[in-house]
Structure 1
Amino acid sequence: MEALELFLQFKEQSIQGRYLTLEAILPILKRHNTNNQLKHVGNSVQQKPIYTYQIGTGETKIFLWSQMHGNESTTTKALLDFINFLNSDTELAKMLLEDFTFLAIPILNPDGAALYTRENANKVDLNRDSQDLTQPESNTLRGVFEVFQPDYCFNLHDQRTIFGVADTGKPATVSFLAPSYNEAREINVTRLKAIRVIEKINTILQNYIPGQVGRFDDSFNINCIGDTFQYLDVPTILFEAGHFPDDYEREETRKYIFISLLASFTTLCENDIVNNEITQYLNIPQNKAVFYDFMYKNIKINYDGNEIMTNFAVQYKEELIDGKVNFSAYIAAIDNLESYFGHYEYDAQGALYSDNLNNLPKINQIANFSLDNKVIFVNGMIKV
């Protein structure tokens, strides 16, 4: 069965959108806890439980974790879709379970997930705590790693809408990285194993999202967990779930993460390795911060009595209000936007800007304005 069909068949319908908490996913994990696969392995700062889910009997051990950053839930959704698939009676699932033992931490940072923050409850970025291990969540992750002794690690994240694929004007819907293990960013046998998997994933994804796969920056930082595990000689692959056009809830991106997971393990299972994989990996265009959520061009403003033309860009801020993520649009940049793109672009063709404040776009101002007093924009979008 084709990967997209598998996703549609095993997508977990009970979870949607960007706000995903431990309480939301526990019923799913408990449903699949038919043989004590679910284990309580640690607690967060606020004493929320951290769980692992283990399945499979294969020799090759795969360690996956998601929501190390609490507001990065796309990969968690896809991971649960993948767990649904592994618990199916399909021949492919049976084959993977015979070849691999999977151990997943679906939500490493349950406090951050509840608060919808990148950091944990102590305001610490867990992905900068791999050496000092000051936080209970970091210690839990490291403890599971040392006991399980994985053959491969999958470090699952989201990235912001600002990232595009180099200067192509296409969003980086999914990006990958085989983290460096030293300052020189050399490629040893361990890193090469991760590169080979990424190269194969990219080949498959190009059939679904051509030109929308990026390669994340590989600057070495031993405080990052991926760099640490690569340094410890375990091939580690970083996933970054990014923006697909008009998909702010990341439901489209979710399916490409599922497809990427499936591609990873079928590649390892089949030992489907190609020549020149390093070159092909390095040819994946790098992520680049070249996008804003909105861009408005050729705007006329009245500045000190003079009419001038300008451009400005608007970026969403994701704000948790009453248990729901709201996307609030604020002005983020003005004038020189030549090297940037907008996920939504509007050419005002010289229309005059006005608002209820000073009739001038200003940084951090909410994007409510009108053009020629005819076209009204509310929270960045045209009011219909």
Structure 2
Amino acid sequence: MNLEQLFLENKEKTIEGRYLTLESIEPILNKINTNNQLSIIGQSVQGRPIYKYNIGEGKTKIYLWSQMHGNESTTTKALFDFLNLLHNGSDLAQKFLSHFTFCCLPMLNPDGAFLYTRANANEIDLNRDSQDLTQPESKLLRAVFEDFKPDYCYNLHDQRTIFGVADTGKPATVSFLAPSYNQEREINDSRQKAINIIAEMNSVLQQFIPGQVGRFDDSFNINCIGDTFQYLGVPTILFEAGHFQGDYHREVTRKYIFMALVSSFTKLSENVIDINRTEEYLNIPQNKVVFYDFIYKKVKINYDGNEKLTNFAAQYKEELIDGEINFNAYIAKIDDLEGFFGHEEFDAQGALYNDDLNSFPKIDQKANFSLGKEYKFVNGLIKK
């Protein structure tokens, strides 16, 4: 199977970038509503519809939800790419549709999507509301779970550019987790099934992004939805779509999420009883906060008349302005950057720092500055 070609053939070209709202996806949902697969199951805090999309006639039931966090849109794009595959009439599509029944909530948090926030309109993190169920979106997610009675749950998220694969200096482009079902982080039959699927997806992705797959922390928190569903005995897999080099709009990462989805369902449809793949799973390096978007090394600064060499880092803040996401770089860390990497790194070789106000960088100021007379940086990047 040529996964690269499969992605290109099924990519949903009407959506791209980071800012994905309900208005963006409703035309696609209506387009693929070919046999009354689409329904509205309720409303968000601000009254936006929350859609459910069911497709397939197979015995194995797969529950997928995306944009539980409103500003995490990469997996939503990949989910629609996958739904396009199910509609393309191919042998693979027929195989999946006969083996599985898919139940998708492609945008659980439409208010957060519109506001470009992690939380919902009540400023509640839905992924910490799985026990109290204080929010309408959380209640709907749980109600569908209880009604659908899935065999597997796919919990689809994004993660920030700060995450790398352990201390390798490579970004965690895709990360997975088979959530724990108890404080002891033991492995039962349910969790083992999730672990085996992750091991398979990792083995496929290593062919495309070697060394860029991470494993998320498995500390148990019953308030998280994945931990809750695992606790209730349903194999649950957390997907984290992360950074690929230069891909701040996550158009490359969406491809790898699509590949992971396809490879997981291919494996599940084979009806092969897996050997225990726990060792493979545990050999996936853990996610670690080791990245800044920019690191500047060996910078000379003048502080109170004293010159010295230092390092500093800048990080993008994703700011919604007039309906568009702006990546604005701000100084985030100064001096001690041991163990950290930059997605972009610049060796100043002792060039003197200067900006419009100071002769040294300050936390939270915009990353607009000069290094010596030769290099001028605007929004973190060298101005050419």
- TM class by shorter chain equals over 0.9
CA offset digits 1:114-171 (Å, max 9, x no partner): 0000000000000000000000000010011000000000000000000000000000
Please list the CA deviations of residues 245-281 of structure 1 after superposition, one character each: whole Å capped at 9, or x if unmatched. 0000000000000000001100101135553400110
* SS in structure 1 of the partner of residue 185 of structure 2: coil
SS at match of 1:15: coil
Paired AA for residue 243 in structure 1: H
**1:1-384, aligned counterparts within 5 Å?**
1-272=1-272, 274-384=274-384
Distance of 1:187 and 1:357 partners within structure 2: 56
SS state at 2:345 partner: strand
> 8 Å contact 2:196–2:276 — kept in the other structure?
no
Q: Distance in 1 between matches of 2:362 and 2:371?
A: 16
Distance 1:13 1:273 in 2: 37
Unaligned runs of 5+ in 1: none
> Does the 8 Å CA contact 1:267/1:273 hold for their aligned counterparts?
no
- Asked if the contact 2:303–2:359 (Cα under 8 Å) also holds between the matched residues in 1, the reply is no
Alpha-carbon offset, residue 338 of structure 1: 1.1
Figure out how many residues of one structure are paired with residues of the other and give that number: 384
CA distance in 2, matches of 1:292, 1:298: 16
Give yes or no for contact 1:70–1:111 (8 Å, CA) kept in 2: yes
Give secondary structure in 2 for the equivalent of 1:114. Answer: helix
Percent identity of equivalent pairs: 71
Aligned 8 A contact 2:165 2:287 in 1: yes
Does the CA-based 8 Å contact 2:205-2:256 persist in structure 1? yes
Kept in 2: contact 1:354–1:373 (CA 8 A): no
Shift of 1:2: 1.3
Q: Offset at 1:94?
A: 0.2
TM-score, normalized by length of structure 1? 0.99
Q: Whole-Å Cα distance in 2 between the matches of residues 273 and 298 of structure 1?
A: 55
CA distance in 2, matches of 1:131, 1:53: 25
Task: Tell me the SS of whatever aligns to 2:71.
Answer: coil
Residues in 1 aligned to 2:233 and 2:26: alpha-carbon distance in whole angstroms: 33
Q: Deviations over 1:299-356 (max 9, x none)?
A: 0000111110000000000000011000000000000101000000000000000001
Query: 1:292, 1:340 within 8 Å by CA — same for their partners in 2?
Result: yes
The structural deviation recorded for 1:34 is: 1.1
Relative to structure 2, which stretch is displaced further, 44-53 or 371-380? Answer: 371-380
**1:69·1:109 contact (CA, 8 Å) conserved in 2?**
yes
Amino acid at match of 1:267: K
Output the aligned Cα RMSD. 0.7
In structure 1, distance between residues paired with 2:190 and 2:64? 17
> In the alignment, is the contact (CA less than 8 A) between 1:185 and 1:219 conserved in 2?
yes
Report the AA paired with residue 311 of structure 1: N
SS at 2:175's partner residue? strand
Moved over 2 A (4+): 271-276
Distance in 2 (alpha carbons) for counterparts of 1:359 and 1:47: 50
